[in-house]
Structure 1
Amino acid sequence: MLVRVDRDRCIGSGMCVLSAPEALALGPDGQALPVAGFADGGGELTDGLAEAVEFCPVEALTLHSASGGHRIDPPE
């Protein structure tokens, strides 16, 4: 599972980091960033990560398959 952050949408609310601290962090600019494994190699889908995507107030997060790159959540 890869996490992508639309940096044009992200407002840095931090809700995602509270839900999935193993997958997301706030960068120096205050916007969400996937932690290393979730940015390039992929990590395991957890309930917290699914919640982070679902509860993002500006829908800036998407989950993608690590093997095929296709978008998983939210659906297009």
Structure 2
Amino acid sequence: MTGSAEAEAVVVRVDRGRCIGSGMCALSAPGSLVLDADGLAQPVAEYADGGAELTDGLAEAVEFCPVEALALHSARGGYRIAPAE
């Protein structure tokens, strides 16, 4: 996905009530997600606010979250991209 002409800017949303701080997301997408002082997932600034390019690592992080605490949304349209509802 990285570098693709069709790359879509995405925003990552974290359900902090669901997140268990496994760290799998931060390992899969270290440029996109980090664990905060509470040990819970948090998107880096551009993924939290204006949106940034969807990468393979970020898509994988969302897919493999053990408690489905992560969701990708279109930065432009706001619609949910992953996981499917």
| TM-score band, normalised by shorter chain | over 0.9
1:73 to 51, 66, 82: 82
Larger radius of gyration: 2
C-alpha displacement of 1:29 = 0.3
One-letter amino acid matched to 2:45: A
CA distance in 2, matches of 1:45, 1:67: 13
Unaligned runs of 5+ in 2: 1-9
2:47 is aligned with 1:44: no
CA distance in 2, matches of 1:75, 1:19: 20
% identity of equivalent residues: 75
Runs of 4+ residues over 4 Å off in structure 1: none
1:53 to 59, 62, 75: 62
Residues matched between the structures, number? 76
1:29 to 38, 43, 66: 38
More helix by share: 1
TM-score (norm 2): 0.88
C-alpha displacement of 1:60 = 0.3
- Residues 8-48 of structure 1 show CA distances to partners (whole Å, capped at 9, x for unaligned) of 10000000000001110000000000000000110101110
Unaligned runs of 5+ in 1: none
2:17 to 8, 20, 27: 8
One-letter amino acid matched to 1:8: G
